[in-house]
């Protein structure tokens, strides 16, 4: 997931049998200078982006998810400069679905 500089929302991607870059293209705008809890969840064929626990955008995937052993980039990657002036806090990656109680 990343924020493309010329857009206002987030680009949430997952590797599938259909593409190594499938998912939400530009979720709704997020206010600047405000902390927002952003997550995305895959359930079945649905990939959903959440802002502060509320569904903001979703897409139905055309392929089945596949394991991806590529590098994980946080903040920037070799193709984009990253968010200028943005920040990350409490980054977590889980290998299982979490219940609402586990997210608190």
Sequence ranges of the domains in the chain:
1-104
**pLDDT for the residue numbered 72:** 77
Model pTM?
A: 0.76
* The two structure tokens encoding residue 91: 């980054």
Per residue in 36-87, pLDDT tens?
888 888 888 999 999 888 999 999 999 998 887 778 777 677 877 666 566 7
**pLDDT for the residue numbered 17:** 93
Write 87-96 long-range contacts (CB < 8 A, 24+): 89/35
**pLDDT for the residue numbered 86:** 64
């Amino acid at each position: 997931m990343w924020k493309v500089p010329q857009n206002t929302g987030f680009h949430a991607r997952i590797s599938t049998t259909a593409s190594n870059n499938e998912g939400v293209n530009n979720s709704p705008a997020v206010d600047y200078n405000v902390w927002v809890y952003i997550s995305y969840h895959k359930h079945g064929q649905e990939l959903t982006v959440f802002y502060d626990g509320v569904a903001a955008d979703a897409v139905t995937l055309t392929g089945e998810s596949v394991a991806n052993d590529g590098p994980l980039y946080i903040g920037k990657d070799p193709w984009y400069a990253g968010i200028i002036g943005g920040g990350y806090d409490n980054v977590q990656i889980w290998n299982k679905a979490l219940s609402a109680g586990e997210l608190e």
